[in-house]
Structure 1
Amino acid sequence: MDVHWSAPVRIELAPGQYRIISSTLEAATFLLKEWPDGDESIAVWARRVCQETFTGVRAAEDARSAFFLACRNAGLRTMP
């Protein structure tokens, strides 16, 4: 079940190219299929938080926060 967030996370993928992520499902998909090369440990952690949101262990805002922190840690420019 997809859980929409109270506010989306906007990511700059390249200069002038943005992606808006507004739900846990979108974040999990991005983390699995579009994550940039580099350290995967933060992405693995964020994916686990997303999974826990799907199973009801965590709130949707936990997934949003984890996704935002993972993006920042990976050096992606984000705007909350």
Structure 2
Amino acid sequence: MKDKIEVNLDVMLAKRKMSVTELAERVGITISNISILKNGKAKAIRFETLASICEALDCQPGEILYYRKDDENEEN
């Protein structure tokens, strides 16, 4: 498996007690696109979208995105 960026959007949504629907409305993108991002299926994200998500969730990008190296799976 390649090194990859993991998305912890579901964790932040739970912490903020916010639904995917509410986040999509606040950010101005579709529920489908939020779900793709939340499920780790997105290939890219615009900085503008990331900034809007951070503003809506009152968080920093590092609270949503996490870089995981291959060997982290093997250690756990």
Fold-level match, TM-score > 0.5?
A: no
Structure with higher RCO (Cα < 8 A, 6+ apart): 2
Give the TM bin, normalised by the shorter chain: 0.3 to 0.5
Q: TM-score, normalised by structure 2?
A: 0.35
TM-score normalised by structure 1 residue count: 0.34
Q: Which has the higher strand share?
A: 1
Structure with greater Cα Rg: 2
